[in-house]
Structure 1
Amino acid sequence: MTVPATPLLTGLADGLPALRELYKDLHAHPELSLQEVRTAGIAAGLLREQGWEVTEKVGGTGVVGVLRSGEGPVVLLRADMDALPVLEETGLPYASTVTGKDREGEEVPVMHACGHDMHVTCLLGATALLAANRGAWRGTVVAVFQPAEEIGGAPAMIEDGFLDRFPRAGICLGQHVAPAPAGFVGTRPGPVMAASDSLRVRLFGRGGHGSMPETTVDPVVLAAAVIMRLQTVVSREVGAGRTAVVTVGSVHSGTKENIIPDTADLRINIRSTTAAVREQVLAAVERIIRGEAAASGVAREPEIEQLNSFPATVNDPGATGTVQAALAAALGEGHVFTLSQPVPASEDFGTFGSALEVPSVFWYFGGTDLARFEGFAPDGILENGVPPEIPSNHSSRFAPAIDPTIEVGVVSLLAAAAQWLTPADGG
């Protein structure tokens, strides 16, 4: 990769070996949401070494660094830190063998299966260069290392006084590694990621002996009916030109094969790209759950609890154009493409821009070896999606290629930030 010789990038090549080792260390030591104590400590320590003003324990385990270089605009750069309860199967020499306690107190394997370790590494690479090259720019940068993105940690930082405790940014910038070819970046104006709603549902039956189901109301059968009927929400209730996803990601019931249990627990995730579709799907999901329960003759209504809710991530059109042009100049015109539609995954990054009432831009940068994409062309991914054999985020085999992914992530953050920071010469 050829990096343009701009003042903000001076020293990048010299810093890459340390960033590679940092990434491997973070990958080998993942931490679940709101447990990112070690990761936060590393981020805070490196920021202090670089010369940033550092505040820890923001919104739980969040870290905020502030770097000032005279008068000028305020730019927010954000990375998330948490990992997932996934057993790593990458076979990497620095693969995680960590376990931890989830929110229910269960011991689970832990893995950076979504790439947040890459995000932390890239932002720390960018903060190092911003500090080392402070004479090249004017303004203030707010570097946010956010906890608990997987369960909605951004609102916790806002509720912890973020708006009043730190300089108010005029632009919020963020990025996410993706199973696309390394060296390529994609984004779009307007909605770029879906809204997400997660529900926990408890279905109540009436337990008994497995040999006498006629004396029971079987919650396992009820759960199966609910799960299958939920698949009709998108296929039969949402119009073909609209986008939604309903996933039942967790089902738990019973302890033994010959005992019909009293309850069944489901966890459901819903993705939508417009407020109208979100409202429609949420209402349909609740209707089906309660309707199937009534059809089963239950004596107690189901319990439906919302675990978390993220709004759609929406890119400011004007600011997105500015970022796309900057990324094309830094990475090469053919390495930046426009997504044809919002990605159905979700993010809480937009919380910062919404709370500050300022534009925000979020983009994806590829993390997969280009050699795995035979005959690659951006239009192919836009039309057909990522090949199924490529591990995606949240997979036990998801492992971004270290090079050139780290370099692209650092360059992208700095190229975008430079569009709002004032050059030291005033040009």
Structure 2
Amino acid sequence: MTPSPPETPHAPGTRYRPDAAAPEPSPEDLLARAGGVLRPALGLYLDIHADPELSGQEARTADRFARGLASAGCEVVRGVGGHGVVGVLRNGGGPHVWLRAELDALPVRERTGLPYASTSEAMHACGHDLHLAAAVGATELLARLTDRWRGTLVVVGQPAEETLTGAEAMLRDGLYERFGRPGAVLAQHAAPLPSGTVAHAVGGVPAAAASAMLDVVLHGTGGHAAAPHLAVDPVVTAAAAVMRLQTVVARETAPQDQVSVTVGTLRAGTAANVIPDSAALGIGVRATDEASLDRALCAVHRVLAAESAASGALREPSVTVTSRSASLRCDPAVTYAVMRAHSGLLGAARVLPWPGSMAAEDFGLFGDAGASVHGLRGIPLCYWMLGVVDPGVWDRAATGDRGSLPAPNHSPHFAPHLGSALRPAVAALTAAALDRFAGPRVAEGRPGARADGGSGRTGPDDAS
């Protein structure tokens, strides 16, 4: 997933404040208690960050995560949907609360200069290492606080999130049949926001966009560079297609709709004096809703076919949809409840609105978006953004210092500030889990609101 940073930091007075007053902090301050689990969490983070693994190759990462969960007291199952890991911590009868973190890294060469930086061609440039460390830390903390909750904690280490294939693979491998129907599934994601803050999407705003990834082959007729008239040059076709695809957003998308079309890869040819037979494109299409995504995909197909025809290609383009994900929409009632828990933990001023993002996520498959895979409906999801930027850096950027703008996710310079981000990451996940173990309740401050979001659906206390 790739959260987009705001163009400028939030100005004072723009932060979200819940309708109702935040509850008093717990007598057992979770932020203070989180300090007791930071050492193993930090060790896991540094190990995984220095030795990242790409989607589908996360064997060592999965092993380290599994051992961390086992150390916290979980029963651990490996190899679910590939390298997926599931840890189960039982503490009597009650809700089934699930936490999800991702195992995979990106094919990016790290340029942070950190002493624990990756030296391979892969990098945790999206914060998945932080998510894993926070999940292990939260599990250990919940294991120490068993007098505060009853139920079953299920912790998932998901492979292949970056390719949007891992969640479906785990679900098709019987994730819910093997480990029980969730009462709620919780996840957080590192974002270029100040450490010690979290951000939730509210008011029906999707937390992440719908997306589709395409592998495209434009066919030509190879030949000698000295006789281009005897060939059909797919490089020229690709160049024209790349430029024309920009108009799908600029001239075919309504200004109020959010759509993006990105050509992320273009590969063609082997030598300067050879016209190749084909050119390959990797295209990502994103939109805030499925209807807009479908319209954009139709336009992409049309442009590719038309540019091929204009070039005189003898074959139509080959287009393969390698992955597709729905927009990520969280359960409103659970989101408001978790926001209140986060307000009690961090202070209401540190619970921000998330305006949505054109980033893509397969987390939605754990809920209704994946009903065709797992056969269940009404599983509430809650997903929030986690600030990871050094507050001092953030403050300098807020004064207009463009040189202090934090590196965004997927940048080779992306580097969460561990000293200020790890403890809140552990505590925020723990606080949300404790809230869900406490069961559904009316979202105070929202007149007429129901704990089931008005759907008549039961809450996590009724989970099997």
TM-score between both structures, scaled by the size of structure 1? 0.91
1:295-334 aligned at under 5 Å gives the runs 295-334=310-349
The one-letter amino acid paired with 1:126 is: A
Q: Name 1:116's counterpart in structure 2.
A: 128
Of 210, 219, 237, 1:222 maps to 237
Q: Name 2:428's counterpart in structure 1.
A: 412
Contact 1:9/1:129 (CA < 8 Å) preserved in 2?
no
Q: Name 2:156's counterpart in structure 1.
A: 144
Of 406, 425, 438, 1:422 maps to 438
Deviation of 1:373 after TM superposition, in Å, equals: 2.1
Task: Indicate whether 1:183 and 2:196 are aligned.
Answer: yes
CA distance in 2, matches of 1:214, 1:140: 69
Deviations 1:345-389 (A, max 9, x none): 011111112244211011101111122223677xx9xxx9x9994
Task: Indicate whether 1:372 and 2:385 are aligned.
Answer: no
Between Structure 1 and Structure 2, which shows a larger proportion of strand residues?
Answer: 1
Task: Indicate whether 1:92 and 2:114 are aligned.
Answer: yes
Deviations 1:176-229 (A, max 9, x none): 001221111111133110011000000011111112211111111000000000
Deviation of 1:422 after TM superposition, in Å, equals: 3.3
Deviation of 1:110 after TM superposition, in Å, equals: 0.8
1:44-123 aligned at under 5 Å gives the runs 44-98=66-120, 109-123=121-135
Deviations 1:98-125 (A, max 9, x none): 2xxxxxxxxxx11111110000000000
Moved more, 38-47 or 251-260: 38-47
CA distance in 2, matches of 1:359, 1:397: 35
CA distance in 1, matches of 2:265, 2:396: 37
CA distance in 1, matches of 2:207, 2:381: 11
1:8-47 aligned at under 5 Å gives the runs 11-47=33-69
Q: Name 2:360's counterpart in structure 1.
A: 346
Deviation of 1:48 after TM superposition, in Å, equals: 1.7
The number of equivalent residue pairs is: 404
Q: CA RMSD in A?
A: 1.9
Contact 1:172/1:352 (CA < 8 Å) preserved in 2?
yes
TM-score between both structures, scaled by the size of structure 2? 0.84
Q: Name 2:145's counterpart in structure 1.
A: 133
Q: Name 1:391's counterpart in structure 2.
A: 407
What secondary structure, in the 3-state scheme, does the structure 2 residue paired with 1:373 have?
helix
Contact 1:147/1:154 (CA < 8 Å) preserved in 2?
yes
Change (3 A) 1:303 1:387: farther
What secondary structure, in the 3-state scheme, does the structure 2 residue paired with 1:315 have?
coil
Contact 1:246/1:269 (CA < 8 Å) preserved in 2?
yes
CA distance in 1, matches of 2:151, 2:403: 42
What secondary structure, in the 3-state scheme, does the structure 1 residue paired with 2:436 have?
coil
Change (3 A) 1:6 1:376: farther
The one-letter amino acid paired with 2:105 is: A
CA distance in 1, matches of 2:72, 2:195: 28
CA distance in 1, matches of 2:55, 2:404: 28
What secondary structure, in the 3-state scheme, does the structure 1 residue paired with 2:360 have?
coil
**Amino-acid identity (%):** 46
Contact 1:192/1:343 (CA < 8 Å) preserved in 2?
yes
What secondary structure, in the 3-state scheme, does the structure 1 residue paired with 2:246 have?
helix
CA distance in 2, matches of 1:346, 1:280: 18
Moved more, 134-143 or 289-298: 134-143
